[in-house]
Amino acid sequence: MAAKQIFNIPYIGINRYFGTDLLIGSGGECSVVLKITNPVTRFSAASAAYDEFHALMINIVKIMGDGYLLQKSDVISKEKYPLKDSPEYLQQKYNAHFEGREFIQVNTYITLTKQVRKGAFYVFDKKALRDFSQQINKVMDILIAGKTGPVVLKEAQLNLLIMQFLAMDFKPQHISLNNFSPNDTEIRMGDRAIRSIPLINIDNVDLPPTVSTHIEMTDKDTLRGFPVDFLSFLFRVPDFEVIVFNQVIDIPNQFMTIKKLELKKKRHSGIPDPANTLCVEDIDLLLNDVARESQLLVNSHFTIILAAQQDKIQKAANFIESALFSLGIMASKNGYNQLELFRCALPGNSIELKDYDWFLTTCDAAVCFFFKESMPLDEPSDFLVRFTDRQGVPIGIDVADLPMRNNRINNRNKFVLGPSGSGKSFFMNSLIEQYMLYNMDMVIVDTGHSYSGLCSYYNGKYITYTDKKPITMNPFQIKKEEFNIEKKDFLSTLVGLLWKGADGIFSQVERDVISNVINSYFVHFFSQPVADEIPEKLAGEKLFIAQLDFNSFYEFALWKIPEIKQEERIPFDVDEFRYVLKKFYKGGEFAPILNEPADESLFTERFIVFEIDAVKENRVLFPIVTLIIMDVFIQKMRFRSSRRKTLVVEEAWKAIASPLMAGYLLYLYKTVRKFWGEAIVVTQELGDIIGNAVVKDSILNNSDTICLLDQTKFKDNYGAIASVLSINETERKKIFSINQLENTEGRGRFKEVYIRRGAVGEVYGVEVSLHQYLTFSTEKPEKSALEVYFGHFGSYQRALDLFVDDFHASKLALGQFVSHINQNDKPFLNHSHEDNPDPSFPIAHTAV
């Protein structure tokens, strides 16, 4: 090994005792190395999590007791996002978009070292080793309980780790050691340089007077108070390759240490000098802490080891020093032997630290400097959708199954809120595209053509409501075994809606009468003789129900209601009922809607969009159409019980969020849960959620996941939203950090979204490839330019490919390119040999 010529590797070897591989140092001290994950996820705004980890580390120190060293090594390194594989076209584009993107990783190791008493000869002591092994188990238990996922490194892993430390290169493969050439300020290794920056300058201890488990951001108004790691600036160091933050605590004999301190105090107080008084005061404070709060005294040591290219290292080091300065720490510049500090950062080798490297303080204070953050990782699930983490690389999260399994949520339903233009539909497109990678059936009710691109991509069914082609459904057409209480409730609600309108009041008497009529209607139908067995004379009679539909129900009701009225002597306005419902009857304006059966293919199609913009302003039709679509969805759910399904309702839910339909909404949510489904309601209207009891009781109470887009527009009104959505202070901080971090460099255009599953939420980036952007975009000009290509080439993928190729070839900005296409109504370049052979098949929209 080349390095050996410069310095001796400080280990004798690795030995296995009591099932654990121990790293044996040249002085006989032995160490175990644990890989852990810092439990505070970066930008999780969880102040309490910093405190908890702080308490956990103190516990470990206490359990270890004197004679032990605790070393925490946080390795911050840069990686490149690898090219991932996918059979799916848009996912390939997504993967290509992120390939090679640099991101920061944090790997954390804890090394526990059993020291050999100074001056003593090393003797093999089986009992001591057994004790050590028990200590390790205790520490493991604490780390497991603290959700840090500790793993004890085995021989091969230890060997690799030491090589990685020696090379200051933490890539998993091909580590090569260069010659070390240390000088006063750094160590050179090939093109790179390594600098060790101790946090504490022993000649003149300059530390902030008080420290805490973490600090708060102060940069921007919206971010004020956002908790981050004390040393979170390490993530922002310019041009570094690797940073190792070496944190060591040595636990001395308490009695001896206190005694020494008291002695020192006495010595100092003899000489009246301001500097000495300070020292006396410090010692007093320390002794006070120890006495009053039973704190542990520890020797601590902190060094930042920085590796960068030689021409970059000065800038990086300056950044670190000034960041430390702004935290109240005067970093020691270069007073030390660089090689010595570097060696002491090797796992288990902090025993080489000299007296002057240590700083005596309380364990509480020392642990404040410990690094506590990690980067978010893919969730352990096989139902992942990908968004980016806040530094801009994809991570997989499970927004459906895993959080159900671990009881984070009790239903998969989601509520999406954000002002107009904040990216709700775009986010939904991205989610839906990924949901479709699984065995998912998708039904979307939209009022703004936000999903037409995705529908074309998936070759789905796009149903636009027009007066000529209304959406029809015959909800009365059911089989005998399908007639149950739920169906009856649905039909009562539907009749109430037809009669009273969404905002009307359906009195108890009226509801009971209608319910009674519905019951009689079906009983009558199912008990009457089948059509060809009917005696001649009966066929012409009024009471014969030839076919189940609204027409025959209407006729039956007008016969039955007066009968009930007379028997029961109750008020019921039959004339009003007859008159108002007539428009849905034979010859009426809306006759087809409830008399013609739904398109059969709706039950087998995987991807359906109902675009009902055309009835949005129609107070009569809008709620009815929405309701029947939801019923189609429920039928579909029963029909395809072995598949996942999602119902997405944009704005249209408003039409049915009325007291009259509250019961139905609850029923929908309950049924969705039963059939492996989820309902997602998307809205922009604040007024609609605040103060609407139906929304609160049915939609919000049954949506354990809420997704919020940029809420700054709602800032003044936030108290009201926060209380409706039960948003606490921690979550509020995360929400107001949406789109506020300085994390846009080197990334494509993106927007952030906050997703709260259960009680706790996280913020993710919605960043996609250009191909996906074009598919998801709701900008009219962009959509129509793409449709020009689609019309031309017939295949959506082909259209995307050529659109993107032409766009790049054009060297225009996207906006310019788009208006060029729209003005000329043809592709930018001539791809005539590739034109669609059948130009009669132009666009995605098939009106049904």
Ligand X SMILES: Nc1ncnc2c1ncn2[C@@H]1O[C@H](COP(=O)(O)OP(=O)(O)O)[C@@H](O)[C@H]1O
Contacting residues toward ligand X, per CB under 6 A = 418, 420-426, 450, 709, 749-751, 766, 773, 777-779
Binding map of Mg ion across residues 449-488, x = CB under 5 A, - = no contact = -x--------------------------------------
Binding map of Mg ion across residues 416-445, x = CB under 5 A, - = no contact = --------xx--------------------
**Distance between the two ends of the chain, CA-based, in angstroms?**
75
What does the buried/exposed string (b/e) look like for 666-696 if buried means 16 or more CB atoms within 10 Å of the residue's CB? bbbbebbbebbbbbbbbbbebebbeebebbe
Smaller CB distance to ligand X: residue 59 or 778? 778
Rounded CA separation 833/630 (Å): 45
**Which of Mg ion, ligand X, none is residue 779 near (CB under 5 to 8 Å by kind)?**
ligand X
**Which of ligand X, Mg ion, none is residue 445 near (CB under 5 to 8 Å by kind)?**
none
Residue pair 390/42 in contact (Cβ under 8 Å)? The answer is yes
**Which of ligand X, Mg ion, none is residue 317 near (CB under 5 to 8 Å by kind)?**
none
Rounded CA separation 83/598 (Å): 45
**Which of ligand X, Mg ion, none is residue 421 near (CB under 5 to 8 Å by kind)?**
ligand X
692 binds Mg ion (CB under 5 A): no
Residue nearest ligand X (C-beta atom): 423
Q: Name the DSSP class of 4.
A: G
Smaller CB distance to ligand X: residue 434 or 551? 434
Q: Least distance in Å: CB of 782 to ligand X?
A: 7
Smaller CB distance to Mg ion: residue 227 or 418? 418
Residues in the chain: 848
**Which of ligand X, Mg ion, none is residue 462 near (CB under 5 to 8 Å by kind)?**
none
**Hey, what are 283's tokens?**
């010692």
Q: Least distance in Å: CB of 746 to ligand X?
A: 15
Smaller CB distance to Mg ion: residue 113 or 425? 425
Q: Least distance in Å: CB of 689 to Mg ion?
A: 16
Residue nearest Mg ion (C-beta atom): 425
Q: Least distance in Å: CB of 41 to ligand X?
A: 21
Q: Residue 539: count other Cβ atoms within 10 Å of its Cβ.
A: 10
**Hey, what are 153's tokens?**
């490194």
**Which of ligand X, Mg ion, none is residue 777 near (CB under 5 to 8 Å by kind)?**
ligand X
Residue pair 143/132 in contact (Cβ under 8 Å)? The answer is no
Q: Residue 576: count other Cβ atoms within 10 Å of its Cβ.
A: 11
**Hey, what are 604's tokens?**
């087998």
Q: What are phi and psi of 41, to 5 degrees?
A: -75, 135
Smaller CB distance to ligand X: residue 190 or 781? 781
**Hey, what are 738's tokens?**
């949406």
Q: Least distance in Å: CB of 422 to Mg ion?
A: 9
Rounded CA separation 556/564 (Å): 12
Q: Least distance in Å: CB of 473 to ligand X?
A: 28
* The pairing of beta strand 373-374 with beta strand 40-41: parallel
Smaller CB distance to Mg ion: residue 20 or 684? 684
Size of the site for Mg ion (CB under 5 A): 3
Q: Please list the alpha-helical segments (H only) found in 110-190.
A: 126-145, 155-167
Smaller CB distance to Mg ion: residue 247 or 447? 447
Q: Least distance in Å: CB of 487 to ligand X?
A: 35
Q: Least distance in Å: CB of 777 to ligand X?
A: 4
Smaller CB distance to Mg ion: residue 402 or 417? 417
Write the CA distances from 348 to 11, 73, 87, 246, 298, integer angstroms: 9, 10, 46, 11, 18
String of DSSP letters for 628-673? HHHHHHHHHHHHTTTSEEEEEEESGGGGG-SGGGHHHHHHHHHHHH
Q: Least distance in Å: CB of 686 to ligand X?
A: 13
Rounded CA separation 767/773 (Å): 9
Strand (E) positions, 92-222?
102-114, 151-152, 180-182, 187-189, 192-198, 215-216
Residues in region 366-425 near Mg ion by CB under 5 A: 424-425
Smaller CB distance to ligand X: residue 300 or 646? 646
**Which of Mg ion, ligand X, none is residue 584 near (CB under 5 to 8 Å by kind)?**
none
Residues 6+ away with beta carbon under 8 Å from 233: 319, 320, 323
**Which of Mg ion, ligand X, none is residue 220 near (CB under 5 to 8 Å by kind)?**
none
Rounded CA separation 51/49 (Å): 5
Q: Least distance in Å: CB of 629 to Mg ion?
A: 18
Residue from 749, 36, 60, 143 nearest 423 by CA: 749
Q: Least distance in Å: CB of 684 to ligand X?
A: 6
**Hey, what are 502's tokens?**
């969404």
Q: Name the DSSP class of 695.
A: I
* The pairing of beta strand 187-189 with beta strand 192-198: antiparallel
Q: Least distance in Å: CB of 94 to ligand X?
A: 13
**Hey, what are 196's tokens?**
């060790």
Q: Give the footprint of Mg ion on this chain (CB under 5 A).
A: 424-425, 450
